Amino acid sequence: MSILNSDDLKPFADLARSFAARELAGKVAEHDRYPFGRFYEEVLAKLHDVGFLNAVLPIELGGTDFGIEALCAILENISEVDASPAGIIYTQALSQKILMAAGAGKLAASLSKAGTAMKTILIAFPVYIDPASTDTLPTAQITGGGYTLAGRIELLVPGNLTPHAVIPARTGRGPDYSFFLVDLDGKGVEISDPVFSLGLHACPAVDVTFGGAGAQLVGEENAGAAYFAQVLPQMSAVATAIISGILRGTYCEALAYAQKREQGGRPIVQWSEVTMMLANLSIKADVAAMCVCQSCRELRQKQNGYESRISAATLHIAELACEATTDGIQILGGYGYMKDYGQEKRYRDARMVQALLGSVPMKKLARIRCIPEVGTNTA
Amino acid sequence: MLSRSEVASVLSGFPKFEDSCIGLPYGPRMPGHMVKETRKAIAIARKFNEKVARPLALKLDRRTHEDPDFLPWDLIDEANRWGFYTMWIPKIFGGQGYNMPSSSFFLEEVASACAGIANVIGVHYLAVAGLVASGNARISKRVLREVIDGEKSGKPCLLALATTEPGAGTDVEEVELLDKGRVTCTARRVEGGYIVNGTKVFISMGHVSTWTVLSAYEDVRRPSETNIGFAVKTGAKGFSFGGHENKMGQRACPASVLIFEDCFIPDDQVIMSAALVKKYSGQPNRDVSQRYIDYVVSATRPGVCAFGTGVARGAFETALQYAAVTKVNGSLLINQEWAQCLLAEMYKNVLLGRLAYTEANNANSLRGLYRILQIKPVYQYLRFMPRIWFDKVISPFLDLGLTSRVMGKLYFDHAKPADQRCCSGWASVAKYAGTDLGVKNCQMAIELMGHRGLRQDAGAEKLLRDIKLLQIYEGTNQLNRLNAFKCLIAPAVPQVKVFEE
């Protein structure tokens, strides 16, 4: 159970937990078959029905306005069972946050109007990159009355499910970039089949090639990095919540198995090496839950340096999760490596979540480079 | 300064020189031609990677996701054409007789392209080791001759080893645990043979093998005393396959469920039993069982280390290639110091893995299963004698009961316990060292490559899926740590107890 359990947040946690128990538990491996099995559209529709897909959108913009802390509670509990739907909710929140940061809240509202079909409210985003450190962004040119895009963007989530995407692109030669809203059904857009990826299979991604595709500038030109930086602390905290859920799921499944499985004539939980491994899993899960709580507190208080502390928590907890999910499989032995159990999926998903918002080394280096006196010396 | 006896006395203290520096005494004793032979094995593997493994690896992985029941028959035919299923079968049984340590170098190469494909070749030799280490020359000859014939006819004949049961994984790797465990595969004595009932799980290449080397128990309440080994042929009445295991990685190599329902296995397919052991050894069957397990895992765990080293290398090479062509923040990754240090760290892990399996193989060569084959005169004799000599003169002797009794006596009565402990300990150390280093490298590659590393078509993510299995099979790394402690450390501490917590 999460420690995000204040009176305010408990209903969200309970809602997510019951949703996961009802719609996800027991079907995780089946959902994970995508793109080689069917996609769970009905589950996604239900996520929309309960308001999870518009959780960060204010009520006046047609959202449910649960807020970031509630989103953390929701995704932590969903990810304990299956992180894939959490990935879709995460992407939707990130896209909406970027639009709002760019002053395009009304645009977000129009895309997410109440009563609109689930598929058309989704807004795709390349969640696995930090556009600033990506040298191969698409380019945008002014042609006639608007912009057109050329180039390619990889792993656009969930680009095969929606016509709308927020795409970072460069208008000049420098590192600055801008965000554009693109109609993926429009001319000059070529979408690949869903990419076969390491994990989060039910949070699909596609590669998109633009060849003169029409695009609508979101906010100001060359202000993409500023909008991204504005939403980064909040979305990092949400990523920590997903990882925390994965860690909790890893620990719970390992413990349950160790209590049941016998080797050498006794439950393996009584083997002190296994006990030690479980203890380490529980420590990592508890530290992660605490980091989610503290990140939410930091977001509320916004004291000097809070962005850095939240980012550090995400990086650290993701690293712990990669270790823990490796050990989580180990405790189940051969069974842990099979898709009949949840551990191998958590092992894969943890690495996917670790890569959200950019690669680990780039995120680490950015922490020091953003200090002005260091940044000026390391061009 | 020190007399010879003083040196010997000092070096016999913990850690014993003989147990911890194997390569030094082994170096001068190694037949020089082994280097040439090993170079050739590596070259063949590289050629195979170029022509077969690399072009196939990702396609095959994708294919097994599209069709979970897919079996890699074409790949097996190809490996058979390349002669891989007889390369490490000793010449006395009609094989090509490459030296055993060269198989580790070969497997590292192939695993650097695809661990699943490497396993399609390597796991066959796990069963070969299970067969030959029994000392039963007659049944070994019969089965291995079919492998040789399968290569000539183009109809592959592979071997699988079946020990793991639904309720007993770690238990079947260690006699101390076996008697406390929950084994259920039974062999009941009947006229002319045994009736076997039970289920085996996670059996690599089970579906596609012709022979299965099977362990069962005449009395499941006393499994270590009643352990019995069989060679059972696919198609035997009462022997069937359940489904494929749906694994995270190494999907080119199917893992099968084997079901035995009143399966009759005749006496001439018994590899090892308490009754057979009595004919050549005065030791209790329990002790012989432990020595047999030690022989098998001592010979095969360095191979798992080689798999791990190969995957570690695959991760390094994938990351290196990515860093060489990818610009981040305006400059190539390969020109950024942090990336250079990370790649150097990954390369170090590859070298350490290779050193670990080399030293474990040195232990086997000097004091273990294939010691006899690598004594210089024996090695040269086997190298230069014409094939017809083995086929016409030596081969008939293998059918004699006396030959099996002599081999059994050599393996189980004459081998020194200290030698077996050393080999088993080193094999365990190599196994968990190489596979843990492999996991580290795969994680580093995934982190370095960011979003590109997450895609199956970029290769790194498959390595991460593949490597994890290596920490589990052939005994979990936790069991191997305990075994290393038991074999290499515990003898120095009189009051220590292992597996008795």
Contact B454 A262 (CB under 8 A): no
B500 occurs within a structural domain: no
**Residue recorded with tokens 């927020």:** A166
B356 occurs within a structural domain: yes
Count of beta carbons in the 10 Å neighbourhood of residue B246:
17
Contact B465 A362 (CB under 8 A): no
Contact B451 A154 (CB under 8 A): yes
**Domain boundary at B250, B280, B310, which?**
B280
B303 occurs within a structural domain: yes
The per-residue pLDDT for range A25-76, each reduced to its tens digit, is: 999 999 999 999 999 999 999 999 999 999 999 999 888 999 999 999 999 9
**Among B402, B378, B377, B316, CA closest to B351:** B316
Kindly state whether A144 is in contact with chain B, defined as any CB-CB distance less than 8 angstroms: no
Q: Kindly state whether residues B63 and B163 are assigned to the same domain.
A: no
- The alpha carbon of residue A266 is apart from the nearest alpha carbon of chain B, in Å, by 8
Q: Which of A264, A347, A359 lies nearest to residue B450, judging by beta carbons?
A: A359
**Domain boundary at B265, B280, B295, which?**
B280
Element (H, E) at A43: helix A41-49
Count of beta carbons in the 10 Å neighbourhood of residue B51:
12
Q: Kindly state whether residues B104 and B137 are assigned to the same domain.
A: yes
Q: Kindly state whether residues B271 and B292 are assigned to the same domain.
A: no
Contact B289, B281 (CB under 8 A): no
If you ran DSSP here, which 8-state letter would residue B68 be given? T
- The alpha carbon of residue B123 is apart from the nearest alpha carbon of chain A, in Å, by 16
CA end-to-end distance (rounded Å), chain B: 45
Buried b (16+ CB within 10 A) or exposed e, A334-343: bbbbbbebbb
**pLDDT bucket at B499, cuts 50 / 70 / 90:** confident
Test the B interface: residue of A196, A314, A320 with most B CBs within 10 Å: A196
**Residues on chain B touching A360 (C-beta within 8 angstroms):** 447, 450
All residues at 6 or more sequence positions from A142 whose CB lies less than 8 Å from its CB, including other chains = A171
**pLDDT bucket at B117, cuts 50 / 70 / 90:** very high
Contact A196 B247 (CB under 8 A): no
Q: What is the tally of structural domains in chain B?
A: 2
**CA–CA distance from B463 to each of A26, A173, B67, B71 (Å)?**
28, 36, 20, 20
Structural domains of chain A ordered from first start = 10-121 (1.10.540.10), 123-223 (2.40.110.10), 225-375 (1.20.140.10)
B446 occurs within a structural domain: yes
**Residues on chain B touching A198 (C-beta within 8 angstroms):** 446, 453-456, 461, 464-465
Contact B247 A175 (CB under 8 A): no
B501 occurs within a structural domain: no
Q: Kindly state whether residues B261 and B315 are assigned to the same domain.
A: no
Distance CA B432, CA A319 (A): 21
Q: Kindly state whether residues B133 and B251 are assigned to the same domain.
A: no
Q: Kindly state whether residues B446 and B479 are assigned to the same domain.
A: yes
CA end-to-end distance (rounded Å), chain A: 46
**Among A236, A314, A327, A231, CA closest to A275:** A327
Contact B247 A262 (CB under 8 A): no
Q: What does residue A210 show for φ and ψ, rounded to 5 degrees? A: -105, 130
* pLDDT higher than 60, residue A379: no
* pLDDT higher than 80, residue A118: no
Q: Which of A262, A355, A359 lies nearest to residue B182, judging by beta carbons?
A: A262
What pLDDT shows up at residue A42?
Answer: 95
Contact B251, B67 (CB under 8 A): no
Count of beta carbons in the 10 Å neighbourhood of residue A375:
12
Contact A348 B66 (CB under 8 A): no
What pLDDT shows up at residue A115?
Answer: 64
B1 occurs within a structural domain: no
**Residue recorded with tokens 């399609």:** B120
The per-residue pLDDT for range B66-78, each reduced to its tens digit, is: 999 999 999 999 9
B7 occurs within a structural domain: no
Test the A interface: residue of B62, B250, B431, B478 with most A CBs within 10 Å: B478
Contact B169 A263 (CB under 8 A): yes
Structure tokens at A266: 């006794």
Q: Kindly state whether residues B172 and B74 are assigned to the same domain.
A: no
What pLDDT shows up at residue A376?
Answer: 47
Count of beta carbons in the 10 Å neighbourhood of residue B274:
17
For residue B166, give the 3-state DSSP assignment. Answer: coil
Q: Kindly state whether residues B152 and B163 are assigned to the same domain.
A: no
Q: Kindly state whether residues B415 and B307 are assigned to the same domain.
A: yes
**Domain boundary at B249, B280, B311, which?**
B280
Nearest residue in B to A194, CA atom: B455
Element (H, E) at B215: strand B211-217
We report the CATH number of the domain holding residue B449 as: 1.20.140.10
Contact A348 B451 (CB under 8 A): no
Contact B180 A264 (CB under 8 A): yes
Q: What is the dihedral of CA B403, B407, B408, B410, to 10 degrees?
A: 140
- Looking at chain A, the number of H-run helices and the number of E-run strands are 13, 9
For residue A216, give the 3-state DSSP assignment. Answer: strand
Cβ pairs A/B, distance under 8 A: 148
All residues at 6 or more sequence positions from A247 whose CB lies less than 8 Å from its CB, including other chains = A281, A284, A285, A288, A317, A320, A321, A324, A325
Q: Kindly state whether residues B137 and B236 are assigned to the same domain.
A: no
Q: What is the domain extent for residue B249?
A: 159-280
Count of beta carbons in the 10 Å neighbourhood of residue A103:
13
Q: Kindly state whether residues B372 and B256 are assigned to the same domain.
A: no
Q: Kindly state whether residues B90 and B211 are assigned to the same domain.
A: no
Looking at per-residue confidence, does B395 or A296 come out higher? A296
B9 occurs within a structural domain: no
The per-residue pLDDT for range B54-113, each reduced to its tens digit, is: 999 999 999 999 999 999 999 999 999 999 999 999 999 999 999 999 999 999 999 999
Contact B170 A264 (CB under 8 A): yes
The per-residue pLDDT for range A285-297, each reduced to its tens digit, is: 999 999 999 999 9
**CA–CA distance from B441 to each of A343, A353, B306 (Å)?**
21, 19, 14
Kindly state whether A193 is in contact with chain B, defined as any CB-CB distance less than 8 angstroms: no
Our measurement of the distance from residue B291's CA atom to the centroid of its chain's CA atoms, rounded to an integer in Å, reads: 16
Nearest residue in B to A340, CA atom: B246
The interface pTM score, or ipTM, of the predicted complex is 0.95
We report the CATH number of the domain holding residue B226 as: 2.40.110.10
